[in-house]
């Protein structure tokens, strides 16, 4: 079935360093959503990207959607310990509302 | 406050038993979903419903059943046919074409 791949699977950074996770698909995506799941918690919706080449920012987080709509990235500037968690991208197959979640990137931030 | 309520938070099941997980939302969302998450893994779709009295199988529906008699409620039954039910179960809802709101989840353990 359709699946989006995320890299890296894990990332350990020192507090203050930047972090980026990438989401890649072999097929064109209608849109891409990003979620954050804290350890022991549930996923929380962060953002949705729809347009080719779209860039959106939320404070230290920058989200990009590729020109070909086959990849996306989430970049965190100057990580903090509160950024710890797993970041998932997710996409809906054409003409459906269901989401297929990526494999996730687990971020650990050391103080 | 609007949101999704899942109960119970923890559930223990004996082998051969059916158990039902509750999911209630007061967000007036049309669509509701059930996902399963195994430790350190991503989210896999079990069932989803886009309108009352209608639902579709996801990627791992075997051994599970659902109903959608009311817009607010989407209970999931884990049947004895599910051979490996120990997991974290997440319910979500969404307005059409936008991000999901997740409940806090139910951790099911077979004893």
Q: Name the pLDDT band for B1 (thresholds 50, 70, 90).
A: low
* Chain B residues close to A35, C-beta within 8 Å: 99-100
Kindly state the average pLDDT of the residues A56-78: 97
Instruction: Measure the CA–CA gap between A70 and A78, rounded to whole angstroms.
Output: 27
Per-residue pLDDT reduced to its tens digit, B20-31: 999 999 999 999
Structure confidence at residue A2 (pLDDT): 56
Q: Is A1 on the interface with B (CB under 8 A)?
A: yes
Instruction: Measure the CA–CA gap between A19 and A83, rounded to whole angstroms.
Output: 10
Nearest CA in chain A to B106: A42
Structure confidence at residue B98 (pLDDT): 85
Per-residue pLDDT reduced to its tens digit, A16-39: 999 999 999 988 998 999 999 999
Q: Is the pLDDT of residue A76 over 60?
A: yes
Structure confidence at residue B39 (pLDDT): 87
Cβ under 8 Å to B: A residues 87-106:
88, 92, 97-104, 106
Nearest residue, CB atoms, A42 vs list B44, B98, B102: B102
Q: How distant, in Å, are the alpha carbons of A39, A46, A91, A105 from that of A66? A: 29, 18, 14, 19
Instruction: Measure the CA–CA gap between A93 and B76, rounded to whole angstroms.
Output: 23
pLDDT above 70: percentage of residues in chain A: 95
Please state the separation of Cα B103 from the chain's center in Å.
9
N-term to C-term CA, chain A? 40
Q: How distant, in Å, are the alpha carbons of A49, A59, A109, B103 from that of A18? A: 21, 13, 10, 30
Provide the token pair at B59.
Answer: 């990627």
Of A39-43, A103-107, B97-101, least confident by mean pLDDT is: B97-101
* Chain A residues close to B40, C-beta within 8 Å: 106
Per-residue pLDDT reduced to its tens digit, B34-66: 999 998 889 999 999 999 999 999 999 999 999
């Amino acid at each position: 079935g359709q699946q989006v791949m995320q890299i890296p699977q894990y990332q350990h950074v020192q507090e203050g360093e930047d972090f980026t996770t990438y989401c890649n698909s072999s097929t064109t995506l209608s849109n891409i959503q990003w979620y954050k799941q804290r350890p022991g918690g549930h996923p929380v919706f962060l953002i949705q990207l729809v347009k080719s080449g779209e860039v959106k920012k939320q404070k230290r987080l920058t989200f990009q959607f590729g020109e070909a709509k086959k990849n996306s990235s989430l970049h965190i500037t100057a990580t903090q310990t509160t950024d710890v968690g797993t970041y998932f991208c997710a996409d809906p197959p054409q003409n459906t509302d269901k989401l297929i979640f990526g494999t996730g990137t687990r971020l650990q931030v050391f103080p | 406050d609007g949101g999704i309520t899942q109960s119970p938070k923890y559930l223990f099941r004996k082998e051969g038993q059916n158990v039902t997980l509750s999911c209630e939302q007061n967000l007036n969302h049309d669509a509701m979903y059930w996902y399963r998450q195994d430790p350190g893994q991503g989210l896999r779709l079990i069932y989803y419903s886009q309108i009352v009295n209608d639902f579709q199988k996801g990627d791992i529906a075997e051994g599970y059943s659902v109903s959608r008699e009311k817009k607010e409620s989407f209970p999931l039954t884990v049947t004895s046919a599910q051979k490996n039910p120990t997991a974290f179960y997440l319910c979500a809802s969404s307005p059409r074409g936008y991000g999901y709101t997740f409940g806090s989840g139910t951790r099911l353990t077979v004893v």
